[in-house]
Amino acid sequence: DAKTTQPNSMESNEEEPVHLPCNHSTISGTDYIHWYRQLPSQGPEYVIHGLTSNVNNRMASLAIAEDRKSSTLILHRATLRDAAVYYCIPEEYGGSQGNLIFGKGTKLSVKP
Amino acid sequence: GAGVSQSPSNKVTEKGKDVELRCDPISGHTALYWYRQSLGQGLEFLIYFQGNSAPDKSGLPSDRFSAERTGGSVSTLTIQRTQQEDSAVYLCASSQGLGLGYTFGSGTRLTVV
């Protein structure tokens, strides 16, 4: 399994952009990069995923480095509701191991 | 249903009793996963079902834990002879298949007293 490194915590001000980094230097060529977040007292929720190209959806953008050894989740305008733990998870696509391995993630605090 | 449903939402049990936790995945999702999360900790993988294949039980912490999935839909996680260290939130997720987004339920908070 590819190992990931994320900062333990980050702070942001409301309505400002947030860039959440993740290093995954041992990622294989077939691993998708998934991001999930977990709001307080809730189960995790899917945010975004990508393989090589940058990806955008209504929740966030995912910028993937050309060598795929790192990626950055971008929240364009943080809201108080975005305060959560954000998990970066490489997942082997089509492999025999289908479960996501959650690390400790980054706890994002958003200040009004 | 529209989401993954778990029941009960809360369960308090006495040490040594058996408990059953239920997960109703999204209709049509072939993959189903169980995780647990102790207070203030990350998610710990327990078991994974994919279609008709044999489940991946590599994450089950002891032989007191077992799970089954009937008819490729509803799953039950059973903990026998519960211990205090089993206290945690048990989360179920389902997905359409490998490499696709997971949808998690709200979890069952298990407290062993």
Confidence class of residue B1 from pLDDT cuts 50, 70 and 90? low
| Contact assignment for A44 to B91 by CB distance below 8 Å | yes
> What is the 3 state secondary structure string of chain B?
CCCCEEECCEEEECCCCCEEEEEECCCCCCEEEEEEECCCCCEEEEEEEECCCCCECCCCCCCCEEEEECCCCCEEEEECCCCHHHCEEEEEEEECCCCCCCEECCCEEEEEC
| Contact assignment for B48 to A98 by CB distance below 8 Å | yes
Which two three-digit tokens encode residue A61? 């953008």
Using a CB-CB distance cutoff of 8 angstroms, which residues of chain B are in contact with residue A93?
A: 98-99
**A-chain residue closest to B59, CA distance:** A99
Residues in Cβ contact with A59 at an 8 Å cutoff, skipping those fewer than 6 apart: A47, A48, A75
Residue B88: count of CB within 10 angstroms of its CB: 19
Interface contact B34, partner A, CB < 8 A: no
* DSSP, res A5: B
To test the contact with chain A by mutation, choose from B102, B103, B106, B108 the residue with the greatest count of A C-beta atoms within 10 A, namely B102
Per DSSP, the three-state class of A15 is coil
Kindly report, residue by residue over B30-85, the tens digit of the pLDDT: 899 999 999 888 899 999 898 888 888 888 999 999 999 988 799 999 999 999 99
Interface contact B5, partner A, CB < 8 A: no
Return mean pLDDT, chain B. 92
